[in-house]
């Protein structure tokens, strides 16, 4: 089979049934999994982008955008649920791809997931630092800007962002049971504050703020009207990302075949209901135009200012001034759970790749006392904390979604493949209406990816090239499925793929520069060209070397 060799379902299920001190401890039940999913889904998206989307694209109809985005997530979630019940092993989409589409595709998606979780944890930790600064200012404590911002934002190092990453990593190293309890407590507090916001704000809803519910299109695609709702759905879709992290905890679940589908689908349902209620109250207490500009980044604060009655001069006096501080505090706690779960998912994917021999075995060693992959946790604690301390949030934030969408696309495609190639494989949950649901999932995710900017595609291509290098230099030689094969079949596909990515590096670089203007900074264009030329040389050399060796043989 070569580079497209597949890991058998039987081998994966045997791996899932292993026990002992060198295996992950099964401590999670359905409630813990739902809390895990809700903890990572409800985060920056709900508390930041809703105001901007309502003001610029949807008006009060942002609730419809949330429904459309949730339906798109549900397509992928149903596919994830089938695999999670069929292959209850840590690794998420990486493991599913290994069982259905082969090792090379599995490596690509696994490397892609590592990027997704890394930038997600980095982005949220930077945002957490900013909210901490605001909260402390509200109680009279001013932290020096030099130590709460990276050099690109006028500071020296973002210490709070680094500290929160270290703290969450240490909790994860201590054990999944403890981190699950901590996450459950945070999720309870976060949901409680959202419900308080909805309940207290409901009586201040002004019906006229919903008129018109769908503002008339301005003549430009995406600015109000039906096209605005669709564009809004594409943007708020990113507020749902994270439910796939539930599937990375399969080997720490007591009854994964039953509980994994429950964890994935129920967490999506809970978050969808909360999002719709939140958006309905937010656009009801304040007119959607009130969220325009910079204030739209903090829509909760704007809405709370409108929860009150007007005085003699017509100025609204907030009825709950204390709620603003409570919301910020909830965001701080809520972001903790997001950071923790993304770090957990990241280390579990790395663990699976190392266990398969595609990465050094050092990263798949389990601590006998805590029964956690402390080496992987430590690696990402250092990496993510350094990124959080020294790069701006915009750079990391742009990369958060594209990896997830690519993973969703491949998982939906894998369901189509596995239904044809393994129709009799045991599965506790089946995706309904196959092939319709997987096809709709693929189309939805690809459409969302098309809305992402060019520089996001550049960084994805460059990261994929680095990953291909690691696989070509290490993984291809150490794979446990064909570790004794001196010459593996399919290396020509790998080399050609490297050349294709090198060409894409040039194309995306030119696309980005054309978008921003040729008189703007060309750093990304130069980097893309350097990567393209060096990798063209590297993979051309590999092709020549393989051809020469085949001739000799």
- 176 or 116, which is more confident? 116
State residue 334's pLDDT score.
Answer: 76
Nearest Cα neighbor of 198 from 323, 290, 102 is 323
Calpha distance 219→515 (Å, rounded): 22
Q: Which of 109-123, 212-226, 246-260, 535-549 has the lowest mean pLDDT?
A: 246-260
Q: Is the pLDDT at 109 greater than 80, yes or no?
A: yes
- 16 or 226, which is more confident? 226
Q: What is the mean pLDDT of residues 396-409?
A: 72
Nearest Cα neighbor of 352 from 175, 111, 166, 165 is 111
State residue 541's pLDDT score.
Answer: 93
Q: Is the pLDDT at 3 greater than 60, yes or no?
A: yes
Provide the whole-model pTM: 0.77
SS3 readout for 28-74 = ECHHHHHHHHHHHHCCHHHHHHHHHHHHHHHHHHHHHHHHHHHHHHH
Calpha distance 497→479 (Å, rounded): 19
Q: State the CB neighbour count (10 A cutoff) for residue 169.
A: 25
CB of 41 closer than 8 Å to CB of 243: yes
Residue range 461-499, pLDDT digits in tens: 999 999 999 999 998 888 888 766 667 788 888 999 999
Residue range 230-248, pLDDT digits in tens: 888 877 876 777 676 676 6
- 260 or 149, which is more confident? 149
Q: Is the pLDDT at 397 greater than 70, yes or no?
A: no
Q: Is the pLDDT at 437 greater than 60, yes or no?
A: yes
Calpha distance 124→336 (Å, rounded): 9
CB of 84 closer than 8 Å to CB of 260: yes
Q: Band the pLDDT of 508: cuts 50, 70, 90.
A: very high
Q: Is the pLDDT at 177 greater than 60, yes or no?
A: no
Q: Band the pLDDT of 35: cuts 50, 70, 90.
A: confident
CB of 342 closer than 8 Å to CB of 43: no
Q: What is the DSSP letter of 471?
A: I
State residue 250's pLDDT score.
Answer: 60
Q: What is the mean pLDDT of residues 406-412?
A: 83
Q: Is the pLDDT at 92 greater than 80, yes or no?
A: no
Residue range 354-370, pLDDT digits in tens: 888 898 888 877 777 76
Q: Is the pLDDT at 90 greater than 60, yes or no?
A: no
Q: Band the pLDDT of 528: cuts 50, 70, 90.
A: very high
């Amino acid at each position: 089979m070569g580079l497209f060799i597949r890991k058998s379902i039987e081998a994966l299920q045997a791996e899932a049934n292993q026990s002992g001190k060198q295996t992950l401890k099964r401590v999670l039940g359905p409630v813990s999994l739902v809390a895990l999913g809700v903890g990572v889904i409800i985060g920056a998206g709900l508390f930041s982008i809703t105001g901007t989307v309502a003001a610029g694209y949807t008006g009060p109809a942002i609730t419809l955008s949330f429904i459309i985005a949730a339906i798109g997530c549900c397509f992928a979630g149903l596919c994830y649920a089938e695999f999670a019940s069929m292959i209850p092993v840590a690794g998420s989409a990486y493991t599913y791809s290994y069982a259905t589409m082969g090792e090379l595709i599995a490596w690509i998606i696994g490397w892609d997931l590592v990027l997704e979780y890394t930038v997600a944890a980095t982005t949220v930790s930077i945002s957490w630092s900013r909210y901490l600064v605001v909260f402390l200012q509200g109680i009279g404590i001013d932290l020096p800007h030099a130590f709460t911002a990276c050099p690109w934002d006028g500071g020296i190092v973002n210490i709070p962002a680094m500290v929160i990453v270290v703290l969450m990593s240490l909790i994860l190293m201590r054990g999944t049971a403890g981190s699950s309890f901590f996450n459950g407590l945070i999720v309870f507090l976060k949901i409680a504050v959202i419900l308080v916001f909805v309940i207290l704000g409901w009586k201040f809803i002004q019906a006229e703020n919903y008129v018109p519910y769908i503002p008339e299109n301005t003549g430009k695609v995406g600015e109000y009207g039906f096209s605005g709702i669709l564009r809004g759905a594409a943007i708020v879709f990113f507020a749902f990302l994270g439910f796939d992290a539930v599937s990375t905890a399969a080997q720490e679940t007591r009854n994964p075949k039953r509980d994994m589908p429950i964890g994935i689908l129920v967490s999506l349902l809970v978050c969808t209901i909360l999002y719709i209620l939140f958006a309905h109250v937010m656009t009801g207490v304040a007119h959607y135009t009130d969220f325009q500009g910079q204030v739209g980044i903090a829509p909760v604060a704007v809405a709370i200012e409108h929860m009150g009655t007007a005085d003699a001069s017509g100025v609204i006096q907030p009825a709950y001034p204390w709620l603003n501080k409570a919301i910020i505090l909830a965001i701080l706690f809520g972001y903790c759970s997001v950071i923790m779960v993304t770090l957990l998912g990241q280390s579990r994917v790395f663990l699976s790749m190392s266990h398969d021999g595609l990465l050094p075995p050092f990263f798949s060693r389990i601590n006998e006392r805590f029964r956690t992959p402390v080496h992987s946790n430590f690696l990402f604690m250092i990496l993510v904390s350094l990124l959080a301390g020294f790069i701006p949030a915009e750079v990391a934030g742009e990369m958060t979604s594209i990896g997830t969408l690519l993973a969703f696309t491949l998982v939906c495609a894998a369901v189509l493949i596995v239904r044809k190639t393994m129709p009799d494989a045991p599965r506790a949950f089946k995706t309904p209406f196959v092939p319709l649901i997987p096809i709709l999932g693929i189309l939805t995710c690809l459409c969302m990816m098309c809305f992402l900017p060019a520089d996001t595609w550049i960084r994805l291509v460059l990261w994929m090239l680095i990953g291909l290098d690691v696989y070509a230099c290490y993984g291809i030689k150490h794979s446990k499925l064909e570790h004794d094969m001196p010459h593996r079949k399919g290396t020509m596909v790998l080399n050609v793929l490297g050349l294709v990515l090198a060409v894409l590096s040039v194309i995306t670089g030119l696309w980005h520069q054309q978008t921003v203007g040729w008189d703007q900074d060309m750093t990304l264009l130069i980097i893309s060209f350097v990567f393209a030329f060096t990798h063209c040389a590297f993979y051309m050399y590999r092709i020549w070397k393989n051809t020469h060796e085949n001739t000799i043989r």
